[in-house]
Amino acid sequence: MEPWALASFLGAIVLGWCPLTGLAAVVAGGVAVQRIARSEGRRRGTGLAIAGMAIATVILLGEGWLLGRLQDEVAASMDEQANASIGGVLGDGAPPTWDAEAACTDAELRAFRASFAEAVGALRSLSITKREAEGVTAPVVTTAFNAVGERATAFGVARFSVQPATFPPELTIRSLEVEVGGRRLTLPAQDEGPKTSNPEQGALP
Show me where the domains of the chain are located. Answer: 3-69, 96-187
> Which residues, 6 or more positions from 44, have their beta carbon under 8 angstroms from its beta carbon?
1, 2, 36
Share of the chain above pLDDT 70, in %: 92
pLDDT at 181: 75
Q: Please, what is the average pLDDT of the chain?
A: 85
Share of the chain above pLDDT 90, in %: 40
**Coil, helix or strand at residue 142:** strand
- The Cα-based distances of 194 to 21, 103, 106, 148, 201 in angstroms read 54, 7, 14, 31, 18
Q: pTM for the complete prediction?
A: 0.69
Lateral strand order in the sheet of 183-187: 123-134, 140-149, 153-162, 171-180, 183-187
CA distance 47 to 57: 15
What is the CATH number assigned to the segment(s) 96-187?
3.10.450
93-103 average pLDDT score: 80
pLDDT at 142: 94
More confident residue, 148 or 103: 148
Q: Are 122 and 143 in contact (CB under 8 A)?
A: no
Alpha helices per DSSP H over the chain: 3-15, 19-38, 46-90, 106-120
The CA dihedral of 181, 187, 190, 194, to the nearest 10 degrees, is 160
93-116 average pLDDT score: 84
pLDDT at 190: 66
